[in-house]
Amino acid sequence: METAEIARRFLAFFEKNGHTVVPSASLVAEDPTLLLVNAGMVPFKPYFLGQRTPPYTRATSVQKCVRTIDIDEVGKTSRHASFFQMLGNFSFGDYFKEGAIPFAWELLTSSVADGGFGFDPDRMWVTVYLDDDEAETIWREKVGLPADRIQRRGKADNFWSMGVPGPCGPCSEIYFDRGPAYGAEGGPVADENRYLEVWNLVFMQFERGEGSGKEDYPILGELPSKNIDTGMGLERMAAILQGVDNIYETDTLGRILRRAAELTGVAYGDNERSDVSLRVVADHVRTATMLVADGVKPGNEKRGYVLRRILRRSIRNLRLLSGDESFHMHDLTAVAIDAMGDQYPELRADADKIHSVIDAEEKNFADTLRAGTALFNRAAERTRRSGSTEFSGADAFQLHDTYGFPIDLTLEMAAEQGLKVDEETFHQLMQRQREAAKRDAKAKKLGNADISVYARLLETGGPTDFLGYTESEGEARVLGVIVNGEATGVARKGDKVELVLDRTPFYAESGGQLADKGTIAVDGRGVVDVEDVQKPIKGLFVHRGTVRDGEVVVDDTVHAAIDTDRRASVSRSHSATHLIHSALRNALGPSAGQAGSENQPGRLRFDFTSNKPLDAAEIAHVEEEVNEVLARNIEVQYMETTLDKALQMGALAMFGEKYGERVRVVDMTDYSRELCGGTHVGATGQLGLVKVLGESSVGAGVRRVEALVGLDALRRVSTESALVGQLSEQLKAPREELPQRIDAMVARLRAAEKEIERLRAAQVLQVAGELAANAREIGGVRVVTHRTADGTTADDMRKLALDVRGRLGESAPAVVVVAGVPADRPVVVVAANKEAQHSGLKAGELVGVAARVLGGGGGGRPDIAQGGGSDAAAVETALQAVEQRVAQS
């Protein structure tokens, strides 16, 4: 039975039993306590908590999920995946255990011909929570399952929550016995590989608090009603019904895995290590495809980092499999899109954009590997110079945090150079970063309590009526007053307050446009200075500010007025953003899609997809084209229409953005037409001037243009003109000749620096002949020991040692020892010729002798080695220690 048919059959069964079929929500969670949707119940969480009234009492869905807590187990087990689809049926205060358990049993054990999955009842096992006698009784008496196939388990296994504060409850899990070939007898408590979990029935009746792990958290109390939340992993069910050993061999993941094997030339099933890598690739490519389709882009923070980590694990494993630097992600992404396209048609519609993001990240990681490897090599060299064999945990963290190096890659590269990594420090830094992120998230006060306040206001007062397209001020009624996250009903002078009005001229920050500022005044009684406006819940405008004077009370009639000069300046920036977008598309083609923006008063930034930077000529062309449009003074028109009609008109939609049925189109005749809810100018001439400041990279395949608009642009042009005038005067050159004059000065400076470096190196090496001529014989070995002048670099010391060794030749054993203090710490270099090595004198061992005297360590090859320590005063003693070791040979 194909995966798509399993999903269709599940939904059909519950729809027949009175459930509303709800489409999958985006992987980008609306819940601010989560980065990504990690369970099928996440979109229904406000209903379970009683924050919102559900529009139905029964629902069923196939929800896209991403969970990375067990990412290191992906590929190693038969059931772990980072992306999975959760089939679920939900009851909101309707049926409870007595309904959920029989529903599950009927669907699982009914014949395929009758719309079920055809499981053999004699191969089914269940678990229930320790004290859940009610669930066990239903399984035994209503379903007829023998008592010896019902097992009780503790909180870690049979009590479910999302891992964060929210709804929770005991659960009953259903398992399928795959037979003795898969493991030991004894039910799920004995072997969860043989007894594979297929369905989890969660009896959602409690609310949990803060805590860690699966057991260490308090139960705060009961939910407003008893609910049902079930989850059946679509991939696990497909593995069973398709008769394969694991989820990676099903009809969807299996296609990606087989193509990865073809591309890398590795046979699946021949080697466990390569099999794990192939499974990781198959899972991660599909996960990345689904994340990008929902608008996530690779980055160094939050969900962008999740995507980047997944993509880079894929690329790393592909390179381990193929043994080269081939680019395979485009091909594999195409397979993933085709495999999942029947269930999610939007994948095929957005295929070009998905490819653009993933291809760019693959290329970026290839560049990053080169840059990161250079950083690693420098850090490894620094480690050896210090006499240590332990690679710094801080350097490992920097490789991870800045270059996206998985720690296992750093461990492998360190081992190749005879170094071990300070993993303890690395993990401490990782934990510190996680804790900082948690503190930051908590400081935003976006937990369940705050959401419930906003949700109640939205439910009782309805969505905020936005007047700002046509009005800059107006009368409104106060629906809610919130202080410190709680609805207080009143706020007084000095209070930081959040106000919810029934209508407002204030624009709430969205679509890259910053929020309006202004005042909310109660006639004769109080004034609030509005500093920010947000929409924590769709449709609800929350005005954040400080009570400057008096007080404000719920049900007050107020006068809301925005700062019109600021609004006009921000609107000019927003309109300029649309124009720059069109100019970039004209210059680079339709692949230059919007990837983010920010519109401030007089200033903007615009992020766009591109695999290469713009050169100076392209930047100048974009700037000129935009200003030509300003000179034409094109009228800006607005219309509201359906999404389909807007797209038919050629309006651009932001990739990954979710739009409703009705959308607003901002139309600048034939030059620019986009879906946009922001505020804009009436005609392009009102922008005055647009000055592009420059272009830079902000991530894999994403570039950023920054620009000034209006008076800010004019001031910048005036400042630059004055600076050029000063340079022209100082260099005594006309303005048009400044680039050539400055180029010539820079060239002379670089040539001088190279000459200084050459002379310095020559000065060090000029003593090589004298040192070789004065070599002493110790026990039949020609030995040279030399202390360099302080400040001589370790690299020059190494060159000197090799030069002297070369002059000594190979006719007799020879050892050269050069030591010095390049900076604050001493360094020693030992070079041994082949005859010395044959007689048992190896450079790696001798450098260790010297380094230990210096208070450090070191090592290297038998012919050349380097070490160091911390005791600069012991350099002469270290040289003598090497001579003594040679004498003993």
Binding residues for Zn(2+): 574, 578, 676, 680
DSSP letters for 336-358: HHHHHTTT-THHHHTHHHHHHHH
First-to-last C-alpha distance (Å) of the chain: 75
Q: Do the strands 166-177 and 83-92 form a parallel or antiparallel pair, or are they unpaired?
A: unpaired
Q: Which helix (H) or strand (E) holds 532?
A: strand 526-537
Q: Do the strands 465-466 and 503-504 form a parallel or antiparallel pair, or are they unpaired?
A: parallel
Could you give the CA distance from residue 598 to residue 614 in angstroms, rounded to a whole number?
20
List the structure tokens of 106. Answer: 């009927």
Q: With CA atoms as reference, report the closest residue to 798 among 809, 813, 788, 810.
A: 788
Residue 442, C-beta contacts closer than 8 angstroms, at least 6 positions apart? none
Residue 132, C-beta contacts closer than 8 angstroms, at least 6 positions apart? 152, 158, 170, 172, 203
| Side-chain-facing half-sphere of 290: CA atoms under 13 Å | 30
Strand arrangement, sheet containing 814-820: 776-778, 781-787, 814-820, 827-832, 864-868, 857-860
Return the number of other C-beta atoms located less than 10 Å from residue 808's C-beta.
Answer: 23
- The 3-state DSSP class for residue 398 equals helix
| Contact call for residues 876 and 776 (beta carbons, < 8 A) | no
Beta bridge pairs of residue 200: 173, 231
DSSP letters for 106-131: HHHHS-GGGTS----GGGEEEEEETT
What's 164's DSSP letter?
S
Binding residues: 574, 578, 676, 680
Q: Which long-range contacts (CB under 8 A, 24 or more apart) does 532-537 make?
A: 533/504, 533/506, 533/507, 533/508, 533/509, 534/508, 534/509, 535/508, 535/509, 535/510, 536/32, 536/446, 536/450, 536/451, 536/454, 537/451, 537/454, 537/455, 537/458
Residue ranges of alpha helices (H) inside 294-392 are 302-322, 329-340, 346-349, 351-385
List the structure tokens of 674. Answer: 């986009």
Could you identify the residue written with the tokens 């929409």?
535
Return the number of other C-beta atoms located less than 10 Å from residue 653's C-beta.
Answer: 16
